[in-house]
A and B are shown apart, each in its own frame.
Chain A
Amino acid sequence: MNADNAIGDRHQARSGWRLFWSRVVSRLGWERLARRALLPVLLLALWQYAASAGWVDPSFIPSPAAVLDAWWQWIFGPRSTFAWYSGTWFEYVWLSAWRVFVGFAIASIAGITVGVLIGWFEKVRDLLDPLVQGLRPIPMTAWLPFATFMFGIREGAAIFLIAMGSFFPIVVSCTHGAEQTPKNLVRAALMLGTPPGRLLTRVVLPSALPSIFNGLRVGLGIAWVLVIVSEMLAVKGGIGYAMWTAYQFVRIDLIIAAMFTMGLLGLVSDRLLLLLNRRLLRWNTGLRAR
């Protein structure tokens, strides 16, 4: 937040973690930091206490320590035929992330193109909008049987589902962004000599960028939802698959570990998108009310 602070801290702190902490502390201050950590820490403590004091059956609800333990083995444990999950974490994370990436990339390219065109050209709107609006109300999970039927228990089904699911919010948001192009900006561009055929790239697209990014963020969230659903039901491998298998073996500790894994992945990918957003929309930061 404060540039001077950040530079000062860089001199004191050498390691990445210490730098990170000194930044967090200098940004929030100890008091706010403590207030923010209070509730999560309290909940964790309560959970641990409930498990160790015997309020709940530990084989039914495992303690946080047990979850961490299972998670650790899932990540770093040796591959073994006796523990199906041991050492598979990286592979599964990679599988899920790859599916999200491919599906989301297809949805982004198609969604931005179609959305901006619908929002800007009336003829394209007449042509495509009924189709988009007609398919949009179908819940994404309702596509699952159709997708597995068409693609089989293979990658295609998962990618199809993810691409479809994140396509719609992106389309809607991009359409909105292109529609909202300020009339005077279009007029100004024409007045300054922009040929009407170039308005789309010169004015409409940049002015729709904030909306486009909003759509991408929503779409990415949905992509993570759908990767879990499709891995539970339609494809092998991935975090959703691990979660479902853990459910069948009644391994609550692994289920919880998989949930936290998903949360982490969603957070990281959203942060990456935000970073890109800040890069491209530096001009927009001041317009947003804070």
Chain B
Amino acid sequence: MEHGTTSPLSQGAAGRIEIQSVRKTYRDAAEGREVLALDGVTLNIEPREFLTLLGPSGCGKSTLLNILAGFEKPDAGRALLNGDPITRPGPDRGVVFQDYALFPWLNIQQNVEYGLREQGVSKAEAQEISARYLAMVGLTGFERRFPHELSGGMRQRVALIRVLAIDPQIMLMDEPFAAVDAQTRTILQRELERLWMQTKKTVVFVTHSVDEAIYLSDRVTVMTARPGVIKAVLPIDLPRPRDPTSDTFNRFRRDITQLIEVESRKVFAPRRPDLADVGPLSPPKPILALWALRQFLSGKRSM
């Protein structure tokens, strides 16, 4: 741990990520069949870069993020952090979840200190670090509150600093602001940009929002509809902080929105009917009814 020695903010190393032909299928419980989520994704992410994954729903953005976090393993290909394969989750890659994933039984201070204590940081030092980060996001005075007593925006701030406190090399953020209201979202985006400029971590950020992507990213990666591959990588060479009403911002907005719309339309295209649906040897009605009942009871189908 390189804590508290040099700067008010820890300046640990920022990691380099290499994603090499990553392929991932998973079993869709609702449809009861194998689904190809990622089909050969290759992407390099530079240290200190802010990269956004953008794409239609179900394009595998979150799957890719989960692979980088070590929560899931690729079926083929590999993901490397500083040249080493990622095999499991660890404190060198901090994750910020959409649903915050704060421990509801710990108060705010304990939540921020959790990771530090797990790294073996002393109680006194953990307290000092957590106080500093809480002050940085304006949550001083909320130390003894429990997560459910805070607003969504405040909870996400806690989730953010609990990860920053353990000084990871990478920050992985899975639609972190999707559950808060629009005003809070704008404020949180500004705060994230400020924190990122201060700490200069490598950030991989998943979002649905084109504006959010342009506002925050060094590069925006647009993914295709399922199976997800990378359709385009666009460097956003605008000076920070960015003005979402400027002409250049608007040009990016138009270009990226068009790219995404093409993909979104594919998602809603009618699905090619399965053989099972219209096969010439369709099973007799009672069997079909039993099958439907079975699926209903196992929660795979609603009646």
In this complex, the interface size class of chain B, counting residues with CB under 8 Å from chain A, is 20 to 34
Interface string of B91-107 (1 = CB under 8 A from A): 10111010101111111
Asked whether B146 is an interface residue with its Cβ less than 8 Å from the other chain, the reply is yes
Contacts of A286 in B (CB 8 A): 146, 148-149
Contacts of B99 in A (CB 8 A): 184
Instruction: Judge whether A193 and B119 touch: CB under 8 Å.
Output: yes
Contacts of A267 in B (CB 8 A): none
Give the shortest distance, in Å, between A10 (CB) and chain B (any CB): 25
Task: Determine chain A's interface SS by DSSP, over half rule.
Answer: helix
Asked whether B89 is an interface residue with its Cβ less than 8 Å from the other chain, the reply is yes
Give the shortest distance, in Å, between B2 (CB) and chain A (any CB): 15
Instruction: Judge whether A192 and B148 touch: CB under 8 Å.
Output: no
A194 to B93, CA, bound (A): 13
Interface string of A209-237 (1 = CB under 8 A from B): 10000000000000000000000000000
Contacts of B107 in A (CB 8 A): 283
Instruction: Judge whether B93 and A191 touch: CB under 8 Å.
Output: yes
Give the residue of B70, B91, B118, B148 whose beta carbon is less than 8 angstroms from that of A283. Answer: B148
Give the residue of B69, B71, B105, B148 whose beta carbon is less than 8 angstroms from that of A206. Answer: B105
Contacts of A25 in B (CB 8 A): none
Given the known inter-chain contacts A182-B101, A184-B99, please indicate yes or no for A191 contacting B146, CB distance below 8 A: no
Instruction: Judge whether B91 and A192 touch: CB under 8 Å.
Output: yes
Query: Quick one: closest A residue to B94, CB to CB?
Result: A191
Give the residue of A182, A185, A187, A209 whose beta carbon is less than 8 angstroms from that of B89. Answer: A187
Instruction: Judge whether B95 and A188 touch: CB under 8 Å.
Output: yes
Asked whether A282 is an interface residue with its Cβ less than 8 Å from the other chain, the reply is yes
Interface size on A, residues (CB 8 A): 20
Give the residue of A193, A283, A284 whose beta carbon is less than 8 angstroms from that of B90. Answer: A193
Query: Quick one: closest A residue to B146, CB to CB?
Result: A283
Asked whether A190 is an interface residue with its Cβ less than 8 Å from the other chain, the reply is yes
Instruction: Judge whether A190 and B104 touch: CB under 8 Å.
Output: no
Give the shortest distance, in Å, between A101 (CB) and chain B (any CB): 27
Asked whether B53 is an interface residue with its Cβ less than 8 Å from the other chain, the reply is no
Give the shortest distance, in Å, between A126 (CB) and chain B (any CB): 20
Given the known inter-chain contacts A286-B146, A286-B148, A286-B149, please indicate yes or no for A190 contacting B105, CB distance below 8 A: no
Contacts of B146 in A (CB 8 A): 282-283, 286
Instruction: Judge whether B71 and A187 touch: CB under 8 Å.
Output: yes
A205 to B162, CA, bound (A): 21
Asked whether A265 is an interface residue with its Cβ less than 8 Å from the other chain, the reply is no
Contacts of B163 in A (CB 8 A): 191-192
Given the known inter-chain contacts A190-B89, A191-B91, please indicate yes or no for A185 contacting B101, CB distance below 8 A: yes
A190 to B86, CA, bound (A): 14
Contacts of A187 in B (CB 8 A): 69, 71, 89, 95, 97, 101
Pick 14 A–B contacts, CB within 8 A, sort by A: A182-B101, A184-B99, A185-B103, A187-B71, A188-B101, A190-B90, A191-B89, A191-B90, A192-B163, A203-B103, A283-B104, A283-B148, A284-B104, A287-B104
Query: Which residues does A use to contact B, with CB under 8 Å?
Result: 182, 184-185, 187-194, 203, 206-207, 209, 282-284, 286-287
Query: Which residues does B use to contact A, with CB under 8 Å?
Result: 69-71, 88-91, 93-95, 97, 99, 101-107, 114-115, 118-119, 146-149, 162-163, 166
Q: A182-B101, A188-B103, A190-B70 are in contact. List 4 more A-B contacts (CB 8 A).
A: A190-B88, A191-B94, A194-B118, A287-B104
